[in-house]
Amino acid sequence: MGKRKTKKFASMKRMISLKDQRIKEKDRTKVQAKKKKDPSEIKEKEVPKYPSCLFFQYNTQLGPPYHILVDTNFINFSIKAKLDIVQSMMDCLYAKCIPCITDCVMAEIEKLGMKYRVALRIAKDPRFERLPCTHKGTYADDCLVQRVTQHKCYILATVDRDLKRRIRKIPGVPIMYISNHRFNIERMPDDYGAPRF
């Protein structure tokens, strides 16, 4: 009995490497000579540029009246904790606070529907300052991160862990959050008399 040839599965056709001698000179890949690193050469390193307002250990653009960017879940959690947003912010910072709400956050609250109509009514309060958005899309987290990176004059109020993690990577931006039925602030400069709990 003769041997039967079986077809090999998943076998690939052999390909000529681009360095092969049979390929024309112009189509062939060039062999690059490895450069020896000079130990005395000055190493260049790309360092992110920080704004000049962060020169003295803390953000100099922060100061009363504080402008506080509010996130969707911050409004929802403050309703659950039965806290008046503006009054609680003033109790936390001992100064006048202007809560700011972007168009993206407003759109996010409107999308949540009838269940969050109280949050929508609070967001439409005349004490809240409306900030128009010029970018495409309505993803509020990206909008807040972008605004906070461009202008260092804001405090960000959020309860979202992922957003907090993203904001902590940006220097000079304090984070306001809710814990123990009160507003607390994180990374606020000592010079502004932020309470320590």
Q: How confident is residue 107, by pLDDT bands cut at 50, 70 and 90?
A: very high
The mean pLDDT of 56-65, rounded to a whole number, is 79
pLDDT at 57 over 70: no
pTM of the model: 0.71
pLDDT at 30 over 90: no
In this structure, what token pair is assigned to residue 31? 């062999």
Pairing of strands 175-179, 66-70: unpaired
pLDDT at 167 over 60: yes
Give me the pLDDT at residue 10, please: 63
% of the chain beyond a pLDDT of 70: 87
Burial grade of 71 (CB within 10 A; 0-12, 13-18, 19 or more): buried
In this structure, what token pair is assigned to residue 13? 């056709």
pLDDT tens string 116-166: 999 999 999 999 999 999 888 778 999 999 999 988 899 999 999 999 999
- For 186, phi then psi, to 5°, come to -120, 140
DSSP character for 66?
E
Give me the pLDDT at residue 127, please: 94
